[in-house]
Each structure stands twice: as C-alpha cells, then as structure tokens.
Amino acid sequence: MRIELNGSQCEISAATLAEALVELGYGAAALATALNGAFIAATARPTTPLHDGDRVEVLTPMQGG
C-alpha cells in the first residue's frame, strides 16, 4: 500500500504502524508517531492498522529553543 511518510510518498507492505516502522528501518530509535495528525502511543502501534493514503509522521529528538 502507499502511505505518506513524513511528507514523502512511500510503498510498504506492513499492515500495522509497528510493522511499518520495522519495515522502514527505524529500528530501536527513540521516536514518536502520529497517524493522520493524531498521536499514536508506542503501546498502540502494534494494534494500529494502516490504510492506503494514510499520513504517518515519525519524529525524533532534535535541538530546540
């Protein structure tokens, strides 16, 4: 299926958000996720299904003021 990952189109076969992160190579990085603008907690990723056209945001710690 085709999703939008951090603003870019992306083809994945994973069915859930947790599987998608593994497939996309995020590994064990400290990160937070949102799906279609809503926060998805780490514990909810395995039970969060993905659908064609979903917008996924994956954020990690960054410098800030």
Partner 1 sequence: MRLYDIDVQSRLLLGTAQYPSPQVLTKAIAASGCDIITVSLRREAARGATAGNGFWSLLQASGARLLPNTAGCHSAREAITTAQMAREVFGTNWIKLEVIGHADTLQPDPFALVEAAQILCADGFQVFPYTTEDLIVAERLLDAGCKVLMPWGAPIGSGQGLRHAEALASMRRYFPQVPLIIDAGLGAPSQAARAMEMGFDAVLLNTAVAKAGDPVAMARAFGQAVEAGRIAYEAGLMPPRNMAVPSTPVLGMADLNLGGRA
Residues found near partner 1 in the complex (CB under 8 A): 5-7, 10, 24-27, 29-34, 37-39, 41-42, 57-65
Shortest Å, Cβ 55 to partner 1: 12
User: Residue 27 or 52: which CB sits closer to partner 1?
Assistant: 27
Q: Burial-class residue 21 by CB neighbours within 10 Å (0-12, 13-18, 19+).
A: buried
Q: How far is the CB of 25 from partner 1 (least distance, A)?
A: 4
| CA distances from residue 1 to 11, 20, 36, 38 in whole angstroms, order as listed | 6, 11, 16, 20
